[in-house]
Structure formats: C-alpha cells, structure tokens
C-alpha cells in the first residue's frame, strides 16, 4: 500500500484567506451545503482563515475585490454546481488557485459518456453503453445491451435521475426521469456484483470501500440519509485490492483529473472490475466515502481537508 506523504504545509497562514465554495444551484445543492459546512469547520479548527461562500455569482463579487487568496471548491454537480470545468476556467482566468481537478479533468469527469470513451480508448474496463438522444429507439438500445440496464443522466451525480430497468415496460419511465436533467442520457449495461469506490488523494489511491446498502441498491437515500449502509474498508485484499487501486488511479489520470477525487467501480461475480465514473469534488458529509478511506490510513477529517487544500498550491510553493 502506497504511504501517504508528509504534509507539505505546516503553517495555516500559508494558505491566506480561503473561500469554501459550497451550495450553488445544481441538483446537488443540499449535499454541497452539508459538505461545505463540514469542511469549513475542519479548516477553521486547524487555524485556517476560511469563509463560506454560497455559489459562483457570490464568489465572483468577492473575487473582484481580491478578498480571497484561494478557493476550496466543494460545489457538486454541473450547471451552477462548479464541478464541470466552468468554475475552474473562471478561476484560471482570474489567476485564483483552487482545489481539485483543472478545467479538462473537471469537464470530462462530469460527462460520463465522454469519460467512458476515453477509458475505452485506453483499454480500461467500463460497462458497455448506449448514448441516447431525443427520438432514439430506446428499446433497440436495451435489446443491444441486454436487460437489465441502468438509465441515467450523463452529467449528474449523487444517484440523481438513475433508474434500474429489468423489463422493457419500465424503459419509458426511466427515460422520463433521466430526461428531467440537462445533457445527454446514458444507458449502461448493469453489472451484477459488488459496488466499490476508491478515493484518490494526490498520487495515492486510498483503500477501496465496498458498499453494502441495507436495501437492494446504493441510491440517494442510502448515500445521504440511511445509517444502516455498511462500508467495508478495505473492500478487498491482496492482489485484488492492488489491482482495483491501480485501475482507479489510472482511470483518474486518464480523465485528466488531479488533486483529489473518487472513482466508482463495480466488481462482477467473476472478479472483473468495471469503472463507472469519476467524482472530482466528492462529498464530505458524515456519510461520505473519501473521509472513511482516508481514516483507514490514519488521516482524520481535519487533516484530510488540510491535505485537499494543499492541492491548491503548486509543488514548488510548498513551505515547511
């Protein structure tokens, strides 16, 4: 297991005044507010001059007066969510440092279809899929993939708009649900097996987590509300664990991502891994997964937030 490197920054003053950007206007606003409040408390507990900012328009106004030295981005989602490259491009133009992936990694990671295209071009395993536009023959697509399938928006997270379809009669309802959200639709082969996730922190793949919901699926309720979901960490051991970590790190880098994030994986009953998606600004709620994985390596929540904030400084700017 790759060890976590030593902290690069020891003095909270080195970060300057930090905007913890949360909330926004995406479908994941409430999750982001929850994550942001936790991050804000953690940074302040370690002496960081951190302040809550709700959404991109508010941040723009504050940056006009150069009121912040850097941004801890904990917005989730697209279309005002700050996880799709738009915010990153803005901050690049304003020369304001920020946490997480850059423009390319953020934009690509938010688009599940194009992420899969990159992975497939490099031989990385991901479930077979169909890209759906309005008017496409959804029954033909399902027939080609073979039921059961997953139907979801290509550019949403947190299980928003996701349906599992086991028979053709349920296809229309699944399409209607996913179509409530902007962007293309994705129909994907359902992998039957275990659900895993691998956090990425810098150049380190954290221990995998196997997710075992009390119900049949790991849906929005199981992610953010229920207290009976089991998280087994590490989710695997030996060579199987090393392989999943290596695939997750390769998938993260292939998508142009950097800093920190999370890669979701399905493992079928034959032991094959299938990459699902990259999250470039993972949740930091009480139910979130990156903090659980970091904890297995002795990194508490406060230290994790500090380490993520360190990703906003280039390597050569690190101070002892």
The sheet that has 17-22: what strands, in order across it? 49-54, 17-22, 70-73
* Both tokens assigned to 262: 């999370």
**Residue 316 falls in the annotated catalytic set:** no
Catalytic one of 73, 154, 158, 288: 158
Catalytic one of 199, 224, 310, 312: 224
**Residue 217 falls in the annotated catalytic set:** no
**Residue 154 falls in the annotated catalytic set:** no
**Residue 32 falls in the annotated catalytic set:** no
**Residue 73 falls in the annotated catalytic set:** no
Catalytic one of 24, 26, 28, 111: 28
Distance of alpha carbon 106 from alpha carbon 129, whole angstroms: 21
Alpha helices, DSSP H only, in the chain? 29-45, 56-64, 86-94, 103-110, 112-121, 138-145, 171-178, 220-224, 238-254, 289-296, 301-310
Collapsing DSSP to helix, strand or coil, 273 comes out as: strand
Distance of alpha carbon 67 from alpha carbon 22, whole angstroms: 17
Distance of alpha carbon 97 from alpha carbon 70, whole angstroms: 5
Catalytic one of 262, 273, 310, 312: 262
**Residue 41 falls in the annotated catalytic set:** no
**Residue 129 falls in the annotated catalytic set:** no
Catalytic one of 256, 277, 307, 312: 277
Catalytic one of 156, 188, 241, 264: 264
By DSSP bridging, strand 149-153 and strand 163-165 are antiparallel
Distance of alpha carbon 293 from alpha carbon 207, whole angstroms: 6
Active site residues: 28, 158, 224, 262, 264, 277, 279, 283
């Amino acid at each position: 297991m790759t060890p976590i490197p030593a902290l690069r920054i020891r003095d909270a003053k080195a970060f300057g005044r930090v905007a913890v950007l949360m909330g926004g206007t995406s479908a994941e606003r409430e999750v982001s507010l929850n994550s942001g409040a936790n991050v804000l408390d953690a940074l302040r507990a370690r002496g960081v001059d951190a302040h809550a900012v709700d959404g991109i328009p508010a941040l723009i106004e504050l940056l006009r007066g150069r009121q912040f030295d850097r941004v801890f981005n904990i917005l989730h989602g697209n279309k005002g969510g700050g996880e799709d490259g738009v915010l990153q491009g803005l901050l690049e133009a304003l020369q304001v440092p920020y946490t997480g992936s850059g423009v390319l990694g953020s934009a690509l990671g938010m688009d599940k279809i194009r992420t899969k295209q990159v992975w497939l071009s490099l031989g990385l395993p991901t479930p077979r899929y169909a890209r759906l536009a309005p008017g496409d023959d959804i029954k033909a697509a399902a027939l080609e993939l073979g039921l059961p399938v997953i139907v979801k928006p290509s550019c949403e997270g947190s299980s928003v708009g996701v349906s599992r379809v086991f028979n053709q009669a349920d296809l229309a309802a699944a399409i209607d649900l996913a179509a409530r959200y902007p962007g293309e639709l994705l129909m994907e082969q359902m992998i039957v097996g275990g659900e895993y996730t691998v956090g990425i922190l810098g150049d380190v793949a954290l221990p995998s987590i196997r997710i075992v919901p009390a119900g049949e699926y790991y849906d929005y309720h199981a992610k953010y509300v229920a207290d009976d979901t089991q998280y087994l960490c590490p989710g695997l051991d030996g060579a199987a664990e090393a392989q999943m970590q290596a695939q997750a790190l390769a998938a993260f880098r292939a998508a142009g991502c950097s800093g920190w994030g999370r890669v979701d994986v399905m493992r079928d009953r034959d032991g094959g891994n299938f990459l699902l998606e990259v999250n470039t600004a993972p949740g930091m709620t009480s139910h979130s997964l990156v903090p659980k994985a970091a904890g297995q390596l002795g990194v508490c929540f406060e230290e994790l937030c500090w380490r993520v904030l360190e990703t906003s400084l280039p390597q050569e700017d690190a101070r002892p």
